Amino acid sequence: MTWNSASEFFAMGGYGLYVWGSYAVAAACMAIEPVLVAMRHRQARRALIDEGTA
């Protein structure tokens, strides 16, 4: 095992800012985009339903 403790893991050998700065932004982008597309799909469906019943 590379890490002896959690703090060692988060420190990333002194490169924590760079490693976590990369991973955090990637995780944020890849969490937000699926929500946005799901909302767009739901909106498209709802618009069709409204059109049909109106």
Partner 1 sequence: MTFRFFQFAAPARYYRLAGVLVPWCWAAFALLAAAGLYVGFFRAPTDATQGDAYRIIFIHVPAAWMSMVLYVAMAFWAAIGWAFNARLASMLARAIAPTGAMFTFLALWTGAFWGKPAWGTWWVWDARLTSELILLFLYAGFLAIVASIDEPRRADRAGALVAVVGSVNVPIIYFSVKWWNTLHQGATITLTTAPKMVSSMLVAMLLMTLAFWAYAFAVVFTRSRAIVLERERHAAWTADTARAPHGAAAATGAPT
Query: Site residues (CB under 8 A) for partner 1?
Result: 1-3, 9, 12-15, 18-19, 21-23, 25-26, 29-30, 33-34, 37-38, 40-41, 43-49, 51-52
Residue 12 · residue 19 · CB < 8 Å: yes
Whole-angstrom distance, CA of residue 39 vs CA of residue 45: 10
Query: How near is the Cβ of 23 to partner 1 at its closest, in Å?
Result: 7
Query: How near is the Cβ of 16 to partner 1 at its closest, in Å?
Result: 8
Nearer to partner 1, 7 or 34 (CB): 34
DSSP string, 12-23: GGGTHHHHHHHH
